[in-house]
Amino acid sequence: MTITKKIPADRWHGLDVHQGDSLQVIAVTESEFLVQISRADTPPERSVGQASEWLRSARGSVQMAAGISADDARMDFYAAKYGLGR
């Protein structure tokens, strides 16, 4: 079972909690909670081959062969990005 609750941010400022961190309640007393914060040691890797980056880097310089449509170029890009045969 999973329960999601909102806790005011001002109660967490001193803990250096970031989006994506995992918190586990280790102990509970009448006046406090003991919480363990788990964070990945390395930042998440950026996704390689994002279409938005491709568009920014191309800036209208993409030359398509005769008979290739923009949809074909886009589908080839996604096939390569996700490892799909086309």
CB 64 within 8 A of CB 73: yes
Q: Is 78 among the domain residues? A: yes
The count of domains in the chain is: 1
Q: Is 76 among the domain residues? A: yes
CB 39 within 8 A of CB 21: yes
What is the pLDDT averaged over residues 4-30? 84
Summarised one tens digit per residue, pLDDT across range 21-61 is 888 889 999 988 888 989 877 665 666 667 767 666 766 66
By residue range, what is the domain housing residue 79?
49-58+68-86
Q: Is 74 among the domain residues? A: yes
Q: Is 43 among the domain residues? A: no
Q: Where are the beta strands (DSSP E) in the chain?
A: 22-28, 33-38
Q: Is 73 among the domain residues? A: yes
Reference 71, options 79, 81, 60; nearest CA is: 79
Reference 79, options 47, 45, 49; nearest CA is: 49
Q: Is 27 among the domain residues? A: no
Q: Is 29 among the domain residues? A: no
CB 58 within 8 A of CB 49: no
Q: Is 72 among the domain residues? A: yes
Q: What is the pLDDT of residue 29?
A: 92
pTM: 0.40
